Amino acid sequence: MKRIAIISGKGGSGKSSITASFLTLAKNTLAIDCDVDASNLYLIFNPSVDKKHVYISGKTAKINNNKCTSCGLCQNTCNFEAINIIDGKYVVDDISCEGCYLCSRVCPFGAIDMIDSGENYIYSGKYRFGNMIYGRLSPGEDNSGKMISELREKADQLAKENNIECEIIDGPPGIGCAVISTITGVDDIVVVSEPSLSGISDMKRAINVALKFTNNVYVIINKYDLDESNSEDIIKYCNSNNIKVIAKLKFDKNMVDAMINKSSIIEYSPNCQCSTEIKKAYNIIKSTLDK
Amino acid sequence: MKIAIASGKGGTGKTFVATNLFTYIQKRGVNVVLADCDTEVPNSLIFIKAKEKEIHKVMDYRPIINPDICKFCGKCVDYCSYNAIFYVPSLKKISLIPELCHGCKACSVACEYGAIDDSELEIGVVRSYKDKEENKECNIFEGRMKPRELTGVPTIKSTIRYATIPEADYYLFDSPPGTACPFIQTVTRADFIILVTEPTPFGLSDLKQSIETLKKLNKPYGVIVNRSDLGNNDLTQYLKNDSIDLISSIPFSKKIASSYAKGNIEINENPESEKYFKEIYEYLEEKRLKIKL
């Protein structure tokens, strides 16, 4: 199994647009959208929903007022300040509740139940280039990467069932747990950057994290012509750290139009500069994967 | 008034709006605080020249399990909901797996033999800054979580706590993207939420998710559309149909992109952009005065 993950550090750099393009070029590949907080790939590819799997991300405490004697032990014990008194009754604030079970364990009257908190979904199905699997986190849930680990496991199963040998993974922004779960066990990581000071700062953080998981880290500079001087700095940084810059994409309104048209840029405008560069980049990655 | 500047989708312009709005309000001589709550990748201080005055460590509870006192009863392991205790009683081995620990203290409560001591781990920092030496107090705060830590939430809570200095008229919280816990912990502490979006299918989809969440939290909100001429009309139609306030519409401009890329405040570089922030400020002032009444 060969795996490519696309991350960025900075949000809005163009991960999903580039992932969609790679998927357009790839053969016998499973599309995986690990940005479970803000899934976007399915908006372009409109996959069928063949399987819907519910993932319960955790528990939340609920106080049964019929059994509660207002002794206050739960509130004193809770380390997350998640139990308040509202209208004379003890109530769990489910935004702050971490579902650790401690209050339910210490309550002398068995007045606290632990109930399933968020219902998150993992969907798998088919789209015009093959199979896709993606997740949608229930709003407000903790995006700690556990769901993404589950999603990756289901993805591997799906790939095995369908004799698929390659996975292309659209990652979340940032560098936290969710990204870590996305890039674990991956062969190649593509970091999509934009030539702004924020983008460069986040790119460096993303590269540092990526290098802990694989030596095959590549950079794509998106919208490079919005600041050519910063783009040069990115190239210098990558050169001095032995990281290959595999594409420089011009800022192009076609990227937005493609999205609106529910297609990748490769499908929408196959001869534009962005498409040409992305094809070049994909071939570079493909050749190292094949080795 | 506490205002969270948020977005479901990353890269729509939260920090752009937060830093320029902060600058605009300051220019009016109004007492305003900026708090960068995007603790995974905080960027506001790239744009604002400020002097770091204090660093506050954000500490989280961690137990220290003492295998010499431990009676290997296993009660702490039963109490732990996160499989964070490595426990092999036959080999008299017990220790914390720090990467999995959520700091809930359940193990410490469980232990009847005093084998668990309380300790703390630094999981993030909050930095306080002044952008003018004459300021009485720090007016800019940045929360930064330690990479590889489980969650930025305690750092966000701390950042907002430090940032809520008395007597500011405005507190601006530059929020993390998404609709998960970090977003919730930021907006829940605000009086009003500005959602920054872009008129693309991704932007619209993520905006709807944000709004669904804000409705559940019963928080008032309004929308700013950034790069308003790069996309289609679905977003404006949606805002109209659902009677959602469109606070301002900022078209794409290479000048704005360039200021942002260079780490500059747009309204300082190109004063003609002030009109957008004037519009935003007047909208907020109306809200603020209503809350006062």
Q: The tokens of A175 are what?
A: 């560098």
Q: List Cα–Cα distances, B224 to A187, B20, B28, B115, B197, in angstroms.
A: 40, 13, 21, 55, 6
ipTM, two decimals, is 0.90
Integer Cα distance of B136 and A112 in angstroms: 47
Residue by residue, pLDDT tens for chain A (291 residues) are 899 999 998 999 999 999 999 999 999 999 999 999 889 999 999 999 999 999 988 899 999 999 999 999 999 999 999 999 999 999 999 888 999 999 999 999 999 999 998 889 999 999 999 999 999 988 777 766 889 999 999 999 999 999 999 999 999 998 888 999 999 999 999 999 999 999 999 999 999 999 999 999 999 999 999 999 999 999 999 999 999 999 999 999 999 999 999 999 999 999 999 999 999 999 999 987 776
Classify the phi-psi angles of A236: left when phi > 0, otherwise alpha if psi is within -120 to 50, otherwise beta: alpha
Asked if B53 and B60 count as a contact pair (C-beta separation under 8 A), the reply is no
* Beta carbons of B32 and B22 less than 8 angstroms apart: yes
A contact test, residue of B44, B45, B104 with most A CBs within 10 A: B104
- Going across the sheet that includes A119-127, the strands are A51-56, A119-127, A130-136, A29-33, A166-170, A2-7, A188-193, A217-221, A244-248
Q: Is the Cβ of B103 closer than 8 Å to some Cβ of chain A?
A: yes
Cα(B177)–Cα(B40) distance, integer angstroms: 10
Residue A75's Cβ-count burial label (10 Å; 0-12, 13-18, 19+) is middle
Q: Which amino acid is at B215?
A: K
Those of residues 135-194 in B touching chain A at CB distance below 8 A are 145, 147-152, 176-182, 184-185, 188
Closest Cα in chain A, distance from residue B185 (Å): 8
Of B40, B110, B201, the CB nearest to A176: B40
